[in-house]
Amino acid sequence: MQAVLTELELLLAGLVERDLPGVLVVACSDVETLYLAQVLARLDERSESDLFLTFTDAAASAAALVDAIADNLALQQANLAEQLGPGAALPDLPALARAPAASPATRFRALVDHVLALLPPGDHRLVIALLPSDLPPDFSVELAEPLLRASQHPRVRLVLRDDRARPAHFTSATTCPDEHVLAYSLDLTPQDAVAAAAAAARDPERPAAARIQALLELAWLDLGHGRLADAEQKFSGCAEFHARTASPALAALARAGVGEVQRARGDLARARRTYEAALLEAAATPAFPVTLQIVVALADTCLALGQPIDAEGYYQLADTLAAKLLRPHTRADVQESLGVCHRARGAAVQAVRVWNDAAELCRAIDYPQRLRSILGHLAAHHEPIDRARHRACLEEQATITTRLQEARSC
């Protein structure tokens, strides 16, 4: 698996760093989309000048996907303006980006032009990856194919996902005469990946770092299958190796794996101490995705231990990191838990304020599963004091439940 991901990372780095615009179509499964997003996140961490925007959310149609991207960008602009201080403002999204009569491709290009205008002059590239975890049925016709045919701005690099089992625009990319259009098939078959990782970990000819990376993959597989002793041994070995080789981000990730094992065993107090040690290692690095993962696990552990004040502080840090990393779904998850912390220490008004903000975020990014859960909290709060709001929450919750049931039956 690591060899394939390394190859993919080299391909993406070449696409980003060359002096020409480009479009890369990656054919992969739904699960493999997550690996693709992780590789892009690593490239983002290494780049100090390029702007990476990765969108992995599922959407019912290409138009709905562009709506979600526009909503996400609007939210991020508002957050950035708030961070810049009083009086700071950024231009509104172009009207064309929201025009219902315009095609999804036209609206998306308007958003790209808008973001380009916000970049400072100089050697700053815009890398946009459209990697929906569930491809809309019209994604190829309405969005991918028009983007493949269109000329690209010199500073733009596009990464488009296709379904490896039923490729559509991937086929067009492989036969396209345009040198700026590339195609790559990402195949991480689970059985092959396990065998490859095991072989890599045992191969004495491989560099030590590559063998440890394979061992870390096996540790996560052991954890997923409940082989806790094996997972803990591998995670601990990986953490010690990366600590000795001055790789604090990887050491933190492996140490967090030890915390996951301890949490799976129910040893929450020990897991908290392990996550705190991992957080100290990650804090000294710019590896914000790793830090975010650890902070959320630490906050969840504190909450499970009945320590809402400590959990609240970590959830607030996680909310800040998720905003920085453009991860609105993670923000919604974190804000729901943050409201639970407020309620646990008797700050009901503050809890409701956070839940209302989280509910608006869920509506903006179309995150019905989390919205349904948040509405449950709000309904319980309003029941004894505001029957109208209690009823409104229950009605919206019922509508979402029906929508999700209909989606599962399709």
Higher-pLDDT residue of 286 and 172 is 172
Mean pLDDT of all residues in the chain?
87
Q: Kindly give, in sequence order, each residue whose CB lies less than 8 Å from that of residue 186, ignoring residues fewer than 6 positions away.
A: 4, 8, 26, 27, 28, 32, 35, 36, 164
Percentage of the residues of the chain whose pLDDT score is greater than 90: 47
Burial 342-380 (b: 16+ CB within 10 A, else e): bbbeebeebbbebbebbbebbebbbbbebbbbbbebbbe
**56-108 pLDDT, tens digit each:** 878 889 999 999 899 888 888 887 777 667 777 788 899 999 999 999 999 99
Residue with the bigger pLDDT between 129 and 286: it is 129
Sign of CA dihedral 59, 62, 67, 71: positive
Paired tokens of 146: 């028009």
Helix residue ranges, H only, 18-56: 30-46
Specify the pLDDT at position 221: 80
d(Cα 340, Cα 347) in Å, to the nearest integer? Answer: 10
Q: What is the mean pLDDT of residues 129-148?
A: 92
pLDDT for residue 160 is more than 80: yes
What is the spatial distance between Cα 170 and Cα 136, in angstroms, rounded to a whole number? Answer: 15
pLDDT score of 167 more than 60: yes
User: pLDDT, tens digit, for every residue of 359-375?
Assistant: 999 998 888 889 999 99
C-alpha distances in angstroms, 408 versus 10, 138, 334?
Answer: 38, 19, 26
Helix boundaries (H) for 305-386:
308-324, 328-344, 348-365, 368-382
Question: What pLDDT digit, counting tens, does each position of 381-400 carry?
Answer: 998 888 899 999 999 999 98
Tell me how far the alpha carbon of residue 61 is from its chain's centroid.
Answer: 20
Q: Are 53 and 350 in contact (CB under 8 A)?
A: no
Residue type, 281: E
User: Is the whole-model pTM more than 0.85?
Assistant: no
Residue 128: CB atoms within 10 Å? 20
- pLDDT tens per residue across span 50-62: 889 999 878 889 9
- Give the pLDDT confidence score for residue 410 in this predicted structure: 43
Q: Bridge partners of 26?
A: 161, 184
- The residues near 121 (Cβ < 8 Å, ≥ 6 apart) are none
Residues 6 or more apart whose CB falls under 8 angstroms from that of 195 comprise none
Q: What is the pLDDT of residues 196-254, one digit of tens each?
A: 666 666 667 677 877 887 788 888 888 877 889 989 999 999 999 988 888 888 899 99
**Which of 170-174, 305-309, 372-376 bottoms out in mean pLDDT, i.e. has the lowest?**
170-174
Task: Lay out the sheet containing 22-28: strands in order across.
Answer: 51-55, 126-130, 156-163, 22-28, 181-185
Question: Both ends of the chain: CA-CA distance in Å?
Answer: 33
**pLDDT over 70 for what percent of the chain?**
93
